[in-house]
Structures are given as C-alpha cells and as structure tokens.
Amino acid sequence: MREIRLKGRGVYSGIAEGEALVTKTALPGYGGVDPETGNIIDIFHELYGTNIVNKIMVIRGAKGSSGWAETFHIARLLGTTPAGIVFTKMTSKICLGIVAMKRPAITDLETDPFEIIETGDHVILDGNKGEVTIFKEV
C-alpha cells in the first residue's frame, strides 16, 4: 500500500474512515439523494444509483436549493449518511448539510483531490487536523 497525506481545512471535526466515492459533479440534496436508502437518485448525475452510506465522498460541492440540510439531517437520523466528505467548493448549502450530518469534512486541500483520490481508495479523514490520508494499492 502506498500512503499519501494531504493537508486542508477541517470544516467539521472528527475522524472518519472508509472507501472513497469520487465525483467531480456537484450533487443536489433534495432530489439528489434518497435519505432512506443513501442512494443517489438524481437521474442526471454520473453516480445515479450508487449508494453513499459509510463512504468517504469526494465531491465538488452541492447544488440546488438548501435541500442538503433537510436531506442529510434525515439521513443522519436513519443512519444512511456518508462517513465523511472531502469537497472543493464551499457554499452555504454544503455547509448546512455537513452540520446536519455531523460527519467529518475537509476542504481547501493543498492539492486537487480529484488528481489523487480515486473511487475505491481507502481514505481516513481527520477533521480535527484537516488531514486526508489516502491508501492506494501498489
């Protein structure tokens, strides 16, 4: 295993670990994710049908209305949220969703995460330190 560490800015504290799920496409909250199942239900999204539960989502950001807060609050209550989020575009939508999820989140990485992290990589987020550790198969 090859280990890569990236520094960024912690948005929500805590430590999360899991398999990366990467998309460069922003995701709507309301109409984008089914909070009961954790499936991406936006038929226009590249990850349509993919489940986000316990994944480390690497995403550009949120789009649409403020549905992220409601969708991910319900998902947290039902246990269907991602384990954590790495994102590149800060907006009030994604910030509200992260606070509603209460899951570690990191942004403003020193390197573009889309150039390093791939779906399936094992990732550890440390929201306290603003650190992302990626484990890649050699």
Taking alpha carbons only, the member of 10, 31, 38 closest to residue 128 is 10
The 10s digit of each residue's pLDDT in 30-82 is 889 999 999 999 999 999 999 999 999 999 999 877 788 999 999 999 999 99
Q: Is 65 a catalytic residue?
A: yes
E strands in 13-130: 15-23, 27-28, 56-59, 62-63, 84-87, 105-107, 122-126
Name the token pair of 94: 């994604």
Mean pLDDT of 110-114: 96
pLDDT at 102: 96
CATH 3.40.190.10 fits domain 2-136 = no
Which residue among the candidates 13, 65, 66, 92 is catalytic per the annotation? 65
What count of residues does the chain have?
138
